[in-house]
Amino acid sequence: LHNNIIRYDTCQSISIAGKRHKITTIMMTYNHRNKSCAVMAIAVLLLTSAFVIGLSPASSRRSSIHPVAQQNRIATTSIISSPFALSSKSSDEESQQKTSTTSLYDDLPAKKPWTFGILTSGFPPQQLLVPFVKFVTFQVWRLMMNELVTHDEQGRFIRESFQAGNNPAPLDLDGSYRLYLGNPCPWCHRVKAAVAVLGVENQDIPITMLIDDAEKASKGGWILPKPSEEDKTSIAEELITGDLAGVYNFCYRDILGERERYQGRCTAPLLVDVNAGKIVTNESNEIMVLLNDYSRRKGSFDTTTIDLRPVGMEEELDKATKYWFNLLWNGAYRCGFATSQVAYDEAASDVLKGP
């Protein structure tokens, strides 16, 4: 392996759990020109060592208790279990004896999960094993995070522009719309709060509460609840069954090829025009602006109507929204999705500045 492995020393014998095992010791040197071979050699050594240790049965490994500890355990057990050991003593002496001999620890179970016994045997050395496991675990975790969201080279979370609803038109008062929201999502929280304050829930704009279940979703993590009988007769099946990815596929059917699936992220909150089968927008701030405009126009003659975006204050509200978004709202996501300490520290600093 390009001089990374120098030689083999064979036929050495060690004792593991009372049994003799012949092993092969691999002597290595580090070649900075080919680091991958050295890492591979270390991995092979660790896995081989784990296999050798695992060959010894659990009963043999249990027998390796320190002799003094084993003797004390047997003595304690015999004193407690014998019905005649303390019969000739007074009650005070008996109470004192029980207090001093009762073990605080449990006996080893007759059956327990099988293990390699690596950490308890000391071979391979823990100083090599722990960093190796941490390295592999971190690489797998970072790969999953990069698949889930976009990052830059420094591990900073990058929020991509939304694929739908770049400039959504005002909602039609006679239209039919549906909101898709999920409780675990903070962006859905703000939309749901706006819906409740404006009073456009239920009859005006129904809400489908998504279920967070990544094991059942074909993409992302959102699946749809069981539809009502009324929805089955009035709404396209793709908008009320399956998962949120199916809703995106259906709404983009005109631009997708045959058997082609939507490649972007299937996110919530999502506002859909049910009659047209099209996405209005999947950006929370745009949804709230549209809902407020919808409520204002529909209740223009009602003096009790709440206006969350008063005319003349748009610029001030947009400035405040951008401030809180950059530091606090998106800052929390930047903390959670950071894949490096530098990226996390930067995001955490912004979150603390937000309040």
Of 51-60, 112-121, 171-180, 181-190, which range is least confident?
51-60
**Residue pair 54/39 in contact by the 8 Å Cβ criterion:** no
**193 pLDDT band (50/70/90 cuts)?**
very high
Say whether pLDDT at 210 is over 60. Answer: yes
For 1-8, the CB contacts below 8 A with 24+ separation are 1/34, 1/37, 1/40, 1/41, 2/31, 2/33, 2/34, 2/37, 3/29, 3/31, 4/28, 4/29, 4/30, 4/31, 4/34, 4/37, 4/38, 4/41, 5/41
Helix H or strand E encompassing 7: strand 5-16
**Residue pair 107/62 in contact by the 8 Å Cβ criterion:** no
The pTM for the full model equals 0.65
**271 pLDDT band (50/70/90 cuts)?**
very high
Average pLDDT over residues 125-138: 92
Q: State residue 106's pLDDT score.
A: 87
**122 pLDDT band (50/70/90 cuts)?**
confident
Q: State residue 82's pLDDT score.
A: 45
**33 pLDDT band (50/70/90 cuts)?**
very low
Cβ-count burial 344-354 (b if 16+ within 10 Å, e if not): bebbeebbeee
How is residue 15 written in tokens? 């004792």
Give the separation between CA 18 and CA 56, rounded to whole angstroms: 9
Q: How many helices (H) and strands (E) does the chain have?
A: 13, 9
Mapped onto helix, strand or coil, the DSSP state of residue 348 is helix
**Residue pair 18/63 in contact by the 8 Å Cβ criterion:** yes
Say whether pLDDT at 342 is over 60. Answer: yes
User: What percentage of the chain has pLDDT greater than the value 90?
Assistant: 40
Mapped onto helix, strand or coil, the DSSP state of residue 211 is strand
Q: State residue 135's pLDDT score.
A: 96
Q: State residue 256's pLDDT score.
A: 84
Chain centre to alpha carbon of residue 250: 28
